[in-house]
């Protein structure tokens, strides 16, 4: 990669924006008011704003390996807290993607060093849904299904948090589980029935 090209691209981007709206950057500098928090994968092929057709100021973004929401990860928890309590977003999306390297690595038994404790959380998703996954004969279909179930479990992890529960009660915040099909470019809403899932865990995780 020629990094000089990056700065040339930046100059062109600035000119293009100012040609459409001379006050574009002044407006950006006034602050942000996004409606959406997007938690996605760090994979270089999955560009959050671009795949949704959105731009700067439209979406608050957090990305990590395999779009995980782990309660002891201060990075993701800080992002969730800031977006929900301070930016007052009304939608939180966890978006996985097919052909996810993190999910595939979790399906293997190899020792991956520092990645081991991170991937263990995905392996726990496999353990929870072992019966369904082991019934899938095709490895590729099993891989795709684990991507979807991982999104579902990360959404559940979000719903367990006090900030999300409070925003749900006070202003109807909605959590969504999506998958990006990297082979077609399509965003897929998994239409997860969180009411059913929550009913099973409400006694343990409900916070007043």
Q: 33 by DSSP, 3-state: which?
A: coil
Closest by Cα among 150, 163, 160 to 192? 150
Bridge-partner residues for 63, per DSSP?
40
Catalytic residue among 62, 95, 97, 155: 97
Catalytic residue among 62, 95, 100, 144: 100
Q: Is 43 a catalytic residue?
A: yes
Element spanning 38, H or E: strand 36-41
Q: Is 45 a catalytic residue?
A: yes
Residue 41 has phi, psi (to 5 degrees) of: -90, 150
Catalytic residue among 45, 171, 202, 206: 45
Alpha helix locations (H) across 30-100? 48-52, 74-81
CA distance 21 to 179: 34
Q: Is 41 a catalytic residue?
A: yes
Bridge-partner residues for 174, per DSSP?
91
Whether 133 and 178 have beta carbons less than 8 Å apart is answered as: no
Element spanning 174, H or E: strand 174-180
Residues assigned a catalytic role: 41, 43, 45, 97, 100
């Amino acid at each position: 990669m020629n990094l000089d090209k990056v700065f040339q691209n930046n100059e062109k981007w600035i000119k293009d924006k100012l040609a459409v709206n001379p006050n574009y950057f002044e407006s950006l500098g006034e602050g942000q008011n996004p409606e959406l928090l997007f938690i996605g994968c760090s994979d270089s092929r999955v560009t959050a704003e671009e795949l949704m057709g959105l731009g700067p100021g439209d979406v608050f973004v957090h990305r990590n390996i395999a779009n995980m929401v782990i309660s002891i990860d201060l990075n993701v928890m800080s992002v969730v807290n800031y977006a929900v309590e301070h930016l007052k977003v009304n939608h939180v999306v966890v978006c996985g993607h097919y052909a996810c390297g993190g999910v595939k690595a979790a399906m293997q038994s190899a020792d991956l060093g520092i990645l081991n404790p991170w991937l263990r959380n995905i392996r726990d998703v496999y353990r929870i849904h072992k019966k369904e996954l082991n019934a899938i004969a095709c490895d590729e279909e099993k891989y795709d299904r684990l991507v979807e179930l991982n999104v579902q479990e990360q959404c559940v992890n979000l719903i367990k948090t006090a900030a999300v529960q409070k925003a749900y009660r006070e202003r109807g915040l909605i959590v969504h589980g999506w998958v990006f099909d990297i082979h077609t470019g399509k965003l897929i809403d998994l239409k997860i029935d969180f009411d059913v899932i929550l009913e099973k865990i409400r006694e343990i995780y409900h916070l007043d």
